[in-house]
Amino acid sequence: MNPAASPAASPAIEVRDLRKIYDGKPAVDGLSLTVPRGSFFGFLGPNGAGKSTTIRMLTGLIPATSGTVELLGLPMPAREMEIKQRIGLVPDESLLFDRLTGAEFLEFVGRMYSLDRALARRRAEELLELFELAGERRKLIAGYSKGMRKRIAMAASLIHKPELFLMDEPFEGVDAVGARLMKDILLDQVRHGATIFLTSHVLEVVERLCDHAAIINAGKIVAEGSMDELRSGSETLEEVFVRTVGADHGYERLEWLS
């Protein structure tokens, strides 16, 4: 076999002409995207651009209307179960079990990924310590703050040591200390060969963390490349983003606010 054609040499994510139609209107409209392995990839766009819909199709939560998706060299949905064993997901809406404690939830997720009970329990305890949630191990997730819910969701995404992380607004609602901890953990995962694909409205975070990015608007990719390619010249990522999505028009001042 040609090494370049082997699954290990394939991109982490390969999407071709992906579409999702709701009530006759495209939420994602012919999206094509390649995410290299070992990259920290930012997926950006204004509200309603199709970011969350794209991630839900990548994870198999919703079916695509048309187009193809490959994750880690495997086709979705044909190899969906194998793919799900190798990815970690932090969804925008925390899909957590509120009536479990943090420790119980992490152990449950570990068991779902086929870890034996002792290993799942040990990793759950270690992750609670790592994410500074050990003092809340007996607290029900229903009583967690939004930032704590994001941290326990990220901890759950790590428990089976995935190769690819799909993260929808992972830092939303997280305080500066928690966000710094989470960023350090993610950067360490990339250094050890994992791939991270995340959406975020905080462009400064993407600019600081990511080495590649794509911008989606109205369901279509309107810009893509390395951070250096996107920020050609002296523009910041925010300036590139605003110009690319056509929002660089200032605002009309209200006389009574002047």
DSSP SS3 for 89: strand
Using an 8 Å Cβ cutoff, are 102 and 139 in contact? yes
The pTM score is: 0.89
With cut-offs at 50, 70 and 90, classify the pLDDT of residue 250. Answer: low
- Tell me how far apart the alpha carbons of residues 59 and 189 are, in angstroms, rounded to a whole number: 20
Q: 109-139 pLDDT, tens per residue?
A: 999 999 999 999 999 999 999 999 999 888 9
Cβ atoms of residues 231 and 240 within 8 Å? yes
Question: 58: alpha, beta or left, given left = phi > 0 and alpha = psi -120 to 50?
Answer: alpha
Peptide linkage before 77 cis (omega within 30 of 0): yes
Residue 17 parent element (H or E): strand 13-22
pLDDT in tens, 13-34: 999 999 999 999 999 999 999 9
Give residue-wise pLDDT tens across range 214-227: 999 999 999 999 99
Among 165, 160, 147, 152, which residue's Cα sits nearest to residue 104?
152
Residue-level pLDDT at 6: 45
Tokens 């932090």 -> residue = 90
d(Cα 179, Cα 200) in Å, to the nearest integer?
13
- Split at pLDDT 50, 70, 90, the class of 247 is low
Q: Give the DSSP per-residue string, 136-180.
A: GTTSBGGG--HHHHHHHHHHHHHTT--SEEEEESTTTT--HHHHH
Looking at 192-251, list the stretches that DSSP marks H as alpha helix, in order from N- to C-terminal side.
203-209, 227-230, 237-244
